[in-house]
Amino acid sequence: MKTTIRFIHAADLHLDSPYVGMQNLPESIFKDVKESTLLAYNRLIELAIEKRVDFVLFVGDLFDQQSTSIKSVITLKRGLEKLKEHGIFAYISYGNHDFGMGDKVDLTFPDNTYVFQSEEIQCFPYNKNGEEVAQIHGFSYEKRAVKKKMIREFNFDRPDVYQIGTLHGSIQSNTDHDVYAPFQLEDFEKHQADYWALGHIHKREILSENPFIIYPGNIQGRHINEPGEKGCYVVDMTPHQTEVEFHSLQEIIFEQRTINDSEANNIEELTEELFRIKESWRNTSHKYIIRLHLQLPETFASTVEHPQIDELLELLNEQEDTERDWVWIQAIYWSVDWNYDRDEMKASSQFIGEVLQAIDDDEDPIRHLEILANNRVVKKHVEPFTKETLDEMKAEAEQMIVKELIKDGES
Amino acid sequence: MQMNKLELVSFGKWNRKTIHLHKGMNIICGPNESGKTSVRMFVTYILFGLEKELRERFISKLDGQLGGRIHLTHNREEWTVERFLHRHRGQAVLYRGGERVTEDEAKQFYQGMDSNLFASIFSFQARDLQAIREKKADEVGKVLFNLGLTGSDRIVTLENSLDKKAGELFKKSGRKPLLNVKISELKEILKKIDEVKADEEAHQSLKETLRHTEEELSTYEQEQKTLQESIRHHEKLHSLKTQILSHQRLSEDLKNESWIEGFPPDAKSKYDQYKSEELKFKEQKNMHLARIERLQSEKETLQNQSKQVEYPLSIDSIEKLVGESKQLEHSLTELDENLRKEYEQFNRYMNQAGLSYSPDEVIRIDSNDYTGEMWKDLAKEEEELTEKLADQQLKKRTYEEEVTELEGLLNSTTKKQLPRDEKIDLEQQRDALKANQSASEWKKQLEEEKKKQASELEASKQLFTKMTWGFPVVTGILLALFLVFLFEGNNSDWFIVAVVFSVGVVGGLVGFNQSKKTTTKLMQLQEDQSEALNQTDPEQLKNIELTLIEQDELSKKANQLETKLEYAKNNVKELVVEQDYLNHRMEQLEKKRDEEINRFPFLSATNISFWPSLYQTISQAKAIAESIKNLEEKKREQQAQLDENYRVAQSILALYDSNADERSIWEQVQNHLTREKDNGKTLQRIHNDLLELQQELKDLHARFEPHADEWKTLLARTNSADEATFVHNITQHQEYMNKLKKREEAYEFVYQTFSEQTDKILRTDHTWDKIEEDLRIESMRLEEIRDTINELLNRRAELTAQIKQLEEDGELSDLIHQKSMLVEEIRRRSKEWATYRLAYSYLKETKDRYQNVYFPGIMKDTSDNFSVLTGNKYVEVQFSSESETINVCDRNGEWFQVGQLSEGTADQLYIALRLALSKALHASTALPFLLDDAFVNFDQQRKQHMFSLLEKQSSEHQIIYFTCEANDSNDKVEANRIELTAQERSQNGQVELLT
């Protein structure tokens, strides 16, 4: 008869890795942002202790290669030491972001911690009260990509104990994610595992419930596309059933919010309205980073200028660094209904028509931007413009021209 | 397109006005304020609409309307464009051949036309030239160039602004633009990150070094420990060197003293014990002997001192005697005291009795109880008699005084009484007066009666007055009644009337009589009254009566006084008889008194009244005198006994060498007795003590005997012939034992340090020099190691600190986060920059294409136009795409930049360009060309050139020229002329008022 076990399933800690898409943060907020992943990790440790779990699974990407600081390593180790003090074990595998970390930093952990060392599937027994009750299977990345279908390499042959598979990877598709130990849902059916602890995808998702195949997501969102609550799963396994419960750990929540019922007729009213709305969002349990989408009344929207919005953004954020539960508006997007009959304009032989034609004909807009794109520093450290971004910019450029050139009225 | 008719229904000052237009050139003339601009704006409004602000300026003040129609020919079809502010939401409505067209068809109609194009190309006014002139010289070319491209300078404005905005964000080799700044910041951060990363990577190696250092440290610490132990051992040995050597030497010594092993080890102690016993014995013996001696001598002394044998009586008897004597002495003293008190009492009585008798004399007085009684009676009687006599005397005097007083009173009363005649007189007077008084009273009554009668009389008189006239009336009535009755014939009634009538007559008569009587009485009364008026007054009567009463009382009083006086005189007589009796008794009493005085002469000195108390005193004194007599007898007896005892005491005292002693003889004797008794007791005790001491002495000898025996045995055991040999042997043995002890001490000392190793250490023959040398070398080595360890400890601390700093610093973490933020900012700014840059690029690109596609043709036309306008002064116009300007060439082949041209020439160039442009665009848009006083500043020649050019153009392109100059330079031009005069005069029937 199997005894019951309880463990935490977490992945993608990305300890101390920086946020993407943040700028001009005031000191205090910047500090919160910097510490958020570490804070979330500390909460995880506290949760493990509070819930008296048997062990914790860290399924890959504990760090980021590029931004591993001693601080992150020390924090990780301290947490593991703490688990050890409470007799909790830890099982770690490295993913595509933290492979080969051992070369850079000292990754000797306390003896309660087991690390999957290579791309070969390895199995650690978990003993409770001197009796083996579970086996944890897994592997670690040794290079940036693992193209092999690792799922096929697992071998669960001990039905007398709980069999848990850990896998840092993603569903096979035709996108570039395929380089991360790809699998298909059917692959799991061939195995007798009682639980599949996945990692790599930052969005929380339960792929299956029998057995549970779960992406816990990361423990702290780091950009606007990692919105909502982030955390880990506490898993209770009995011989007859498995129960999972999500626990949020994040310090800061990313969110995109849309305001489509604005009644503002001018920038002052809008400012007032946004201040009010922002206050209503303030929450004692979380800090927020919000991307705001405004749908303004048409008459007003057409008069709004970029600098005004920039100013508004600055104004909205101005006092936030004094707040404990701050709400930081990361950006404001607003739709401009700039209506003109593009086709008609283009068909005329006028200059504007020619301009529109030129824009349409431009397949390679980057050629106009080479002086910046070729800057050595920019090239190396700033992501190049994607096609979407370029299209967006083309549209905006077109608007700038059209708006200026077809201004009505007598000259 | 050709406009045929403008129907200004309501527009500005225009109302229901129609303007007919021709193909080709139309010149609309009118002075300022005649409404030329309104017409031009009307065209814009109908075709494209106007912005609200502009539009409102033209709302008709007559009807508040705005709108009208333009009839035109377009693509060889007749069109009407209609627009009214309040119809179709102000949108234009198009009719083709009178039919309203669909929206798509309308769209088709407007193909290639818009207000902007109309404004920038097909509408031209003097202000446009002015605007050109305001540009800087080097800009003019650029503006013209751009105008040439697009007909508008907005492009160049936009282009400049885009370029500027992009430039503010980033320049290829700039320093100040925002992105450049941020990029260099990023560079800095990257540099720092590399540095810090290197530091953090050193963390590993630092930890490794730390590990090595700790290992090394532990090795050295081990060695240090070993050395320290060795040193400690050597030091211990060295410090115990003396002890070890001593032990070894003593062990050697002791080997040679084997004989001593047989020597009883307790010999010394036994000897010492014996010696101490012996000493103790001797001491005790001597002590006993001394005490016996002392007691013997003490006994002799005491025996010598005792005189008891010579005492006349036994000690007990003498002691009794002494006690008795002391008692006697005390008794005598008490007796004396009693006697003294009795005498005092006795004397007090004597004094009291006023006698000076001794006690014996008092005893001899022959008085007894009878005597006492007698004296008491005498005294009592005497007192009684004296008292009575005094009382009698007092009463007598009182009565005599009373008689005297009464006699006085009687005399005075008698004197006050009137003589008898006088009194009778007065009585007569009084009677007379009394008679008078009663007469006056009667008169008073009479008066009252009179008054009463008078009133009665008055009443009667009145009645009669009434009756004097009533009577005849009543009588008449009655008579009449009588007669009536009579005649009627009723008998009884007649009787009644007769009676009544009779009564009435009688009544009247009675009344009259009464009245007459009263009058008579009254008269009488009046007469009485007048008689009484002459009588005396009552006062006199009263006085006389009072005097008479007084006299009566006086006589009564005098009678009483006489009676009292009689009584008082009788009393005095009785008293005199009684007094005589009392005096007789007094004489008898005095006789008895004298008899007693004869018997007791001392009584003569005492008043008889005190005799009873005197008797009392004498009786008491007699009793005390008896007591005194008894006391004195007792005293004599006791004194005799005391004297006897004294003699015996004297004989005893004589036995001792008595010194003068203040104490009484009895105490001295008692003292001697006590001492003798004590001596006896002491002697007895000494005797007992002596016996005891002798017994103890015997015991001492017996107890010492075994010790002496033992000593003899000890001598034999130690083979000692005598005590001296024994003592020598003992000393030898002692020395041996001392050495043994010292050796043990040395062992103990070494053992404390080395414990179980001790035996080994002591057995070993140590080379002390080598040990010292080793110790020196080891100490040196230890010093070295200590230094090394310190060094290692320092290094370890340093490393730990470094590692800790790295671990806690978090600098890399900070930098990475900062970098991320900076990258984001650069990304955003890049995007912003890229947008401007793209807009700029597209504008530029289009312009380039324009240059290549349209510009050559336009330049050709411009050249032609410019040539015409300048009268062939300039023959060619070219553009320079590099400097974005236009250059012109004169007929001499010389090239000028626009900036070098005169203002007027530049204007001409501008017009040439506009005309060329309108021509170029006419093909597709075909809007008429409207010129609003465009050439006001041109001189005549230029205007002529201008018009010839326009004329030429008008063959292909409808031109509407507004001017305020009615007939100047354009009069030669073939044109449809429309005058907008104040009178709205119709010219050639072209302008008419709508009705």
- Residues A164-214 pLDDT 10s: 999 999 888 766 556 788 888 888 888 888 999 999 989 999 988 888 999
Q: Is the pLDDT of residue B376 over 70?
A: yes
Q: What pLDDT sits at residue A372?
A: 82
Is residue A367 classed exposed, middle or buried when 0-12, 13-18 and 19+ CB atoms within 10 A define those classes? Answer: exposed
Instruction: Say how many CA atoms lie within 13 Å of B230 toward its Cβ.
Output: 18
Distance CA B870, CA B890 (A): 10
Q: For position B986, what pLDDT does the model report?
A: 38
Per the CB < 8 Å rule, is A24 touching B128?
no
Dihedral Cα A290, A296, A302, A303, nearest 10 deg: -70
Work out the pLDDT band at B498, boundaries 50, 70, 90. Answer: low
Helix (H, G, I), strand (E, B) or coil at B897: strand
What does the pLDDT average to over B351-357? 82
Cis peptide before B265 (omega within 30 of 0): no
Q: Which residue has the tokens 């050495």?
A: B739
Q: When comparing pLDDT for B143 and B344, which is higher?
A: B344
- pLDDT level of residue B995 (50, 70, 90 thresholds): very low
Mean pLDDT to the nearest integer, B836-844: 86
Q: Averaged over B623-649, what is the pLDDT?
A: 88
A239-266 pLDDT per residue, tens: 888 999 999 999 899 998 888 877 778 8
How far is A315 from B812, CA to CA, in rounded Å? Answer: 31
Name the 3-class secondary structure at B129: helix
- Mean pLDDT is lowest, of B185-199, B694-708, B780-794, for B185-199
Q: In this structure, what token pair is assigned to residue B683?
A: 């002697």
Distance CA B353, CA B347 (A): 10
For chain A, what are the domain ranges? 5-250, 253-337, 342-411
Rounded CA-CA distance A242/A240 in Å is 7
Beta carbons within 10 angstroms of residue B178's beta carbon: 16
CA distance B820 to chain A (A): 6
Q: Which of A357, A341, A397, A344 is nearest to B853 (CA)?
A: A357
Q: In the predicted model, is pLDDT for residue B990 greater than 60?
A: no
Q: Distance between CA B321 and CA B990 in Å, rounded?
A: 206
B569 by Cβ neighbours in 10 Å (0-12 / 13-18 / 19+) ranks as: middle
Q: How far apart are CA A386 and CA A366, in angstroms?
A: 10
A66 chain-B contacts, CB cut-off 8 A: 816
What pLDDT sits at residue A145? 84
In this predicted structure, the answer to whether residue B292 has a pLDDT above a threshold of 70 is: yes
Correct CATH for A5-250 of 3.40.50.300, 2.60.40.10, 1.10.287.3510, 3.60.21.10: 3.60.21.10
List pLDDT tens digits, range B803-816. Answer: 887 777 777 778 88
Residue B106 confidence (pLDDT) above 60: yes
Q: What angle (nearest 5°) sits at the alpha carbon of residue B403, between those of residues B397 and B404?
A: 90
pLDDT of residue B679: 86
Retrieve residue B146's tokens. Answer: 């751009």
Q: From CA B510, how far away is CA B958, in angstroms rounded?
A: 178
CA angle B319/B324/B326 to nearest 5° reads: 95
Secondary structure of residue A96 in the 3-state scheme? coil
| Amino acid letter for position B590 | E
Q: How confident is the model at residue B548 (pLDDT cuts 50, 70, 90)?
A: confident
How far is it, in rounded angstroms, from Cα B153 to Cα B918? 16
Number of C-alpha atoms within 13 angstroms, CB side, residue A304? 29
pLDDT band at B491 (very low <50, low <70, confident <90, very high): low
Q: Per residue in B475-484, pLDDT tens?
A: 777 777 767 7
Q: Rounded to whole angstroms, how far apart are CA atoms A214 and A197?
A: 6
Tell me if B17 sits within 8 A of B70, measured CB to CB. Answer: no
Helix (H, G, I), strand (E, B) or coil at B995: coil
Report the residue of chain A nearest B203, measured CA to CA: A105
**B:898-957 residues touching chain A, CB 8 A cutoff:** 921, 924
What share of chain B has pLDDT > 90, as a percent? 5
Rounded to an integer, what distance in angstroms lies between the CA atom of residue B862 and that of residue A9?
80
Please name the residues between 162 and 221 in chain B that touch chain A, using a CB distance below 8 Å. 162, 170, 172, 179, 183, 186-187, 190, 200-201, 203-204, 207
pLDDT tens, residue order, chain A (411 aa): 678 999 999 999 888 888 887 877 888 888 888 888 899 999 999 999 999 999 999 998 888 876 677 788 888 889 999 999 999 999 999 988 888 776 666 778 888 889 998 889 999 999 988 889 999 999 999 888 888 888 888 988 888 899 999 999 988 876 655 678 888 888 888 888 899 999 998 999 998 888 899 999 999 998 888 889 999 999 999 988 899 999 999 989 999 888 887 777 888 888 888 888 888 888 877 899 999 888 877 777 767 777 888 888 888 888 888 888 899 888 888 766 556 667 766 766 567 777 888 888 888 888 888 888 888 888 888 888 888 888 888 888 888 887 777 654 332
Residue B752 has pLDDT above 80, yes or no: yes
Instruction: Tell me if A405 and B155 make a contact (CB, 8 A cut-off).
Output: yes
User: In the predicted model, what is the mean pLDDT of chain B?
Assistant: 81
Chain B: nearest CA to A355, how far in angstroms? Answer: 5
Q: In sequence order, what are the residues at sequence separation of 6 or more whose Cβ sits closer than 8 angstroms to the Cβ of residue A106? A: A73, B203, B204, B207
- For residue B261, give the DSSP letter: G
pLDDT of residue B528: 54
Closest partner residue to A18 (CB to CB) among B119, B820, B837 is B820
**Nearest-CA distance A33 → chain B (Å):** 9
Contact assignment for B834 to A22 by CB distance below 8 Å: no
The amino acid at residue A347 is A
The yes-or-no verdict on residue B739 having pLDDT over 90 is no
Q: Report yes or no: A15 and B817 within 8 Å, Cβ to Cβ.
A: no
By DSSP bridging, strand A242-248 and strand A252-259 are unpaired
CB-CB neighbors (< 8 A) of B837 in chain A? 368-369, 372
pLDDT at A184: 85
Exposure class string for B891-908: b at 16+ Cβ within 10 A, else e: eeeeeebbeebeeebbbb
All residues of chain B having their beta carbon less than 8 Å from the beta carbon of residue A371 are: 170, 172
Q: Is B744 within 8 Å of B752 (Cβ atoms)?
A: no
Instruction: Say if residue B991's pLDDT is above 70.
Output: no
Residue B228 half-sphere exposure, CB side, CA atoms within 13 Å?
9
pLDDT digits (tens, 9 = 90+) for B300-326: 888 888 887 788 888 888 888 888 888
Q: What are phi and psi of B92, to 5 degrees?
A: -75, 140
pLDDT bucket at B662, cuts 50 / 70 / 90: confident
Flag if A18 and B833 touch (Cβ within 8 Å): no
Residues 6+ apart with CB under 8 A from B852: none
Single-letter code of the amino acid located at A331:
A
Q: Which amino acid is at B851?
A: Q
Q: What is the pLDDT of residue B97?
A: 85
* Distance separating alpha carbons of residues B800 and B209, to the nearest angstrom: 10
Is residue B358's pLDDT more than 80? yes
CA distances from B552 to B415, B421, B543, B561, B894 (A): 14, 14, 14, 15, 205
Report which of A49, A47, A40 is spatially closest to residue A15, judged by C-alpha positions.
A40
How many C-beta atoms surround the C-beta of residue B965 within 10 A?
Answer: 15
Could you identify the residue written with the tokens 């017409």? B39
Tokens standing for residue A64: 């980021």
pLDDT at B501 over 70: no
Would you state the pLDDT for residue B494?
Answer: 61
CB A354 within 8 A of CB B855: no
Chain Cα centroid distance, residue B824:
61
**Distance between first and last Cα of chain A:** 92
Question: What pLDDT shows up at residue A2?
Answer: 76
In this model, does residue B828 exceed pLDDT 80? Answer: yes
Which residues in chain B are closer than 8 Å to A401, comparing Cβ atoms? 158, 839, 842-843
> Which tens digits make up the pLDDT trace of B553-607?
888 888 888 888 888 888 888 888 888 888 888 888 888 888 888 888 888 878 8
One-letter amino acid at B611 equals W
Mean pLDDT, residues B708-720 taken together: 83
Confidence at residue B519, expressed as pLDDT on a 0 to 100 scale: 67
CA-to-CA distance for A267 and A274, rounded, in angstroms? 10
Place of tokens 């009435």: B504
CA-nearest residue to B157 within chain A is: A404
Backbone angles phi, psi at B468, to 5 degrees: -60, -40
The residue among B584, B336, B158 whose CA lies nearest residue A407 is B158
Adjacent-strand bridge partners of A137 = A123, A165
End-to-end, the C-alpha distance of chain B in Å comes to 28
State residue B453's pLDDT score.
76
> Among partner residues A69, A104, A401, which is closest to B816 by beta-carbon distance?
A69
